[in-house]
Amino acid sequence: MKKTIKVRHRNFGSSYKYTVGRDILRNEISKAKNKYRKIVIVTDETIDSLYLNDFENDFEIAKVVIKPGEQSKSFQTLEYILNEFSRFGLKRNSLVVVVGGGVVGDVAGFAASVYMRGIDFWQVPTTLVAMVDSAIGGKTGINTEYGKNLAGAFYNPKKIISDLIFLDKLPEKEVKNGLAEMFKHCLIADKKLLDGLIENPKSLDSVLNSAKVKIKIVEKDVLEKKERKYLNVGHTIAHAIEKDSNFEIAHGQAVAIGIMLEAQISYGLGLVKKSDYEYILAGLNKLGLETDYTIRNFESFIEFMRADKKNAEAVPTFALVIVPGKKIAVLEVSIDNITKILNA
């Protein structure tokens, strides 16, 4: 069983397919052998040892394996991947299959975008976050010594293949990171999706429904405008929490906390009804997402939000839930109000 939807990126004038199913990758790769001269898989050590061992015996397919973790979003790893592509003799008629979470997706997607000025690639997201979020939207890149994602490109894959087999051994913590983004998608688009999500987060429909929310938004506008800002629900605070915690708090976990605190701001400003505010808190709870966090340094926490590149005037901007599943408003909230509400 698999389901496929078409993703149209108007800004790029191109489209590609997003497919979700169980145990579908191998078959897709077999078919690709008829179309492409050479195929290389890029993945990380963890995913390689858990799922990709048997590609070892496939002489038509090369493999580039990098270290897992954020440190791999670096110039060194990019250089390593590009050199491996050359060593394997990849040409413009070759295919790069990127199998991994957000880290591998970003660095290997970027490598595909610059190798010989751009070569075909597939995203095969292996984490829940990547399946419903980071693999979609064409963002690729690495970190520099000055910050995260400072070098990169918008570059779309030819296909996104979400194979549910990869979720079988995904650690619980990673599942929760995905759930936070999936809940965010319910809050933006349709709160009816929440029940299915709670019941079976790793099901084909949960993944597809959530992915669709992101797909619909990036289709409208691939280059960071209007609706794309709705995806920032919970994220203004999440980014500040990641920094405040010295990145000890994972992104998804920070998003859960961010959704909670931003709902508090929304409620404190009188923008969301009490029952809807409670609905948001209950939703986080039902999904088993932890929201306890003590801000270590409130002053720098506020500074992180002001310095967020999305703000024109250094007043923090939020995508606040007004009606769950129906209405989001993108607005600035004064430092005074934030401080008052969060310290109340």
Q: Which amino acids are annotated catalytic? A: 117, 139, 181, 214, 224, 228, 232, 235, 239, 251
Q: CA 77 from chain center: how many Å?
A: 20
Residues that bind ligand ADP (CB under 6 A): 44, 46-47, 50, 68-69, 100-104, 126-127, 129-130, 134, 166, 169-170, 174, 177
- For residue 15, the surrounding DSSP H or E stretch is strand 14-21
Q: Nearest to ligand ADP by Cβ — which residue?
A: 101
What is the full DSSP assignment across 156-167? --SEEEEEGGGG
Q: State in angstroms the smallest separation of the CB of 103 from ligand ADP.
A: 3
Q: 45: closest CA among 86, 96, 104, 88?
A: 104
- Closer of 170 and 272 to ligand ADP (Cβ): 170
Count of other CB atoms within 10 angstroms of residue 93: 11
169 vs 286, which CB is nearer to ligand ADP? 169
- The smaller minimum CB distance to ligand ADP, of residues 167 and 302, is found at 167
Residue 21: how many other CB atoms lie within 10 Å: 20
Question: What distance in Å separates the CA atoms of residue 255 and residue 178, rounded to the nearest whole number?
Answer: 10
Q: What is the closest distance, in whole angstroms, from the C-beta atom of residue 80 to ligand ADP in the complex?
A: 16
Q: Give the integer Cα–Cα distance in Å for 59 and 278.
A: 56
Nearer to ligand ADP, 101 or 141 (CB): 101
DSSP annotation of 296: S
**Shortest separation between residue 128's beta carbon and ligand ADP, angstroms:** 8
Number of separate helices (H) and strands (E) present in the chain: 13, 11
Give the C-alpha separation, 266 to 181, whole Å: 19
Of residues 130 and 217, the one with the C-beta less far from ligand ADP: 130
Write out 166-227 in H/E/C secondary structure: HHCCCCHHHHHHHHHHHHHHHHHHCCCHHHHHHHCCCCHHHHHHHHHHHHHHHHHCCCCCHH
Closest approach of ligand ADP to the CB of residue 180, in Å = 11
Least distance CB 154 / ligand ADP (angstroms): 18
Q: Would you give the DSSP letter of residue 7?
A: E
**Of the two residues 42 and 61, which places its CB atom closer to ligand ADP in the complex?**
42
Using the minimum distance from each CB to ligand ADP, give the nearer residue, 208 or 255.
Answer: 255
Q: How far is 193 from 222, CA to CA, in rounded Å?
A: 24
CA distances from 139 to 14, 102, 103, 243, 309 (A): 15, 10, 12, 21, 16
CB of 197 to ligand ADP, least distance (A): 18
Closest by Cα among 264, 254, 275 to 320: 264
